[in-house]
A and B are shown apart, each in its own frame.
Chain A
């Protein structure tokens, strides 16, 4: 595990309805460093601001103030156009609701980030097959999302997140919609990606149980980081 800092957030604040009487500050100044190769969980109750934080870390949303540097790029100064390329090459998303593209088979879903990265069709296909086999979906590559179970969809989504070999995987409640058994399967894939491929993973969850599996646990409440813990005993993979 190298020590270089992949993601650096300084005094991140996020407000809604800025400039109106009912301005609402969700994040009150988050400071956070995540090193390359870390597996971090961000835990908090719903409404704690953890999803807002993830959206900012994933450059889906811009912070109201503060500084966010991802892999040496200052996001607050980057133009809109550069953001899509940053998301494409540096970040892999795994959503609670999978967000696979409907009516499009698994392999095409996995190919999508590579398509936007301008990778040739042949290479895309080969990489998508490789990734789907890695998550155990090699058999169902040509099924569309509505022909897949929740766990299968999430595995396709993980394969998709890995498509451009991103620096960081942001997983927002990835097991939230799954039963414990399939949830376990998905968590195992994350552990494997972390341990075998050294991927940096940020897991956002409300479950202390899941968070306990990760080496570093950050607890967030009411828009502030209230505790941070290094887990000596790693998960039960």
Chain B
């Protein structure tokens, strides 16, 4: 029976191809929009999640906050909010074994390095010993800074292989730069640094992917060196890396409690300690992104509903047009249920064909958009199942009332209809 009804529906759709297509168009656009948005949303979420995870799922960020967010902060307040090196030292002693590294960084500004006609832009970042572990940066050549470098603020630097390529071209072996001195121009102040290590540059996918050739890479120098350069030694946040197997979220709570007690005198009732794990941030972020995707998809779903009304409209017209046919079928003994099934099948098939076309177009559109935005495509199969189900439901929902009308026709009235 279902097979027969599908056959009848396909015959009827074939007989009115243009009209069926126009009807489908609403469904196609609706499904296409939902799928495209969900594809983009999922790709963004997955990419951002991956990016955050690359910063280390075990990382816990520790900082101080004014309790009143809107408070005007004085210079003294900033001093009070800064983390002292001895505080971090006590922290590492207290949680010895549960923390694998503590990382602190300070921006020392942006500069340029010129070699012959080549130029490379760098963002200079002063880092502490735990930085490379916390940020999962692997060196491909040379070594990280020594204890001596850190403590003395020695003029050493770690640069990216991209930086080497920008200055010396593709054929230059990065390790040949090790031990050489480079001159960095930071707002016409010059830093003379010896390159001791080279890390692998990773292009971060983002919407604002700049010109690849002139992209600015990060150059690392010892924290103390950066402080010397900027004459500013305040630490506003530190990254604590929880040891492997340690629950970062739980540890972050413990750290917060410990520091709140430790620093109670300087915190007063004006400041508070905050510690959050990257893991919980990733989760929160994913949740927010998913909610956003859902919200936008809901708006796109309005197009689907409008499409559904189009289907209802066409089914009503189609049934009026075929009133005599319905009369004939009833005269031949078609039960009401069969007449209804026939027209509902027709609505469902129109919606399903539209749904499938919409899915294909949506995937293409979504992937093209994702490609141009610089994310990795991430197809949401759930959205595909959902769309197929949803378009079928639309067929049933909006096909029901016209089909019911057809089924309830009095056979003789239908037969006599002109």
Contacts and interface: CB of A to CB of B under 8 A. Distances in A.
B335 A81 contact: yes
Given A103-B15, A116-B338, A55 B412 contact: yes
A132 B320 CA distance: 31
B interface, size bucket: 20 to 34
30 contacts: A55-B412, A60-B331, A60-B411, A60-B412, A61-B410, A61-B412, A80-B336, A81-B335, A84-B333, A84-B335, A87-B330, A87-B331, A88-B332, A89-B333, A95-B328, A99-B327, A99-B328, A102-B325, A103-B15, A112-B329, A113-B332, A113-B333, A115-B4, A116-B329, A116-B332, A116-B333, A116-B335, A116-B338, A117-B333, A118-B1
B334 interface: yes
Contacts of B412: 55, 60-61
B415 interface: yes
Interface in B322-347: 324-325, 327-336, 338
B302 interface: no
Given A103-B11, A104-B11, A116 B334 contact: yes
Interface string A68-89: 0000000000001100111111
A39 interface: no
Contact of A164 (B15, B331, B333, B336): B333
B331 to A, nearest CB: 5
A223 to B, nearest CB: 17
Interface in A97-124: 99-104, 112-113, 115-118
A84 B330 contact: yes
A136 B328 CA distance: 23
A81 B408 CA distance: 11
Pairs A-B, 6 closest by C-beta atoms: A88-B333, A60-B412, A99-B328, A61-B412, A84-B335, A113-B332
A58 interface: yes
A104 B15 CA distance: 10
Interface in B1-47: 1, 4, 11-12, 15
A56 B246 CA distance: 86
A60 B324 CA distance: 13
Interface string A128-155: 0000000000000000000000000000
A21 to B, nearest CB: 22
A216 interface: no
Nearest to B325: A101
A81 B334 contact: no
A127 interface: no
Contacts of A117: 333
A160 interface: yes
A58 B332 contact: no
Given A101-B325, A103-B11, A112 B332 contact: yes
A93 interface: yes
Interface string B181-204: 000000000000000000000000
A205 B287 CA distance: 76
Contacts of A85: 333, 335
B414 to A, nearest CB: 9
B265 to A, nearest CB: 87
A13 B327 CA distance: 23
A101 B332 CA distance: 11
A89 B333 CA distance: 8
A58 B331 CA distance: 8
Nearest to B331: A93
Interface string B374-418: 000000000000000000000000000000000000111001000
A48 to B, nearest CB: 17
Interface string A159-184: 01000100000000000000000000
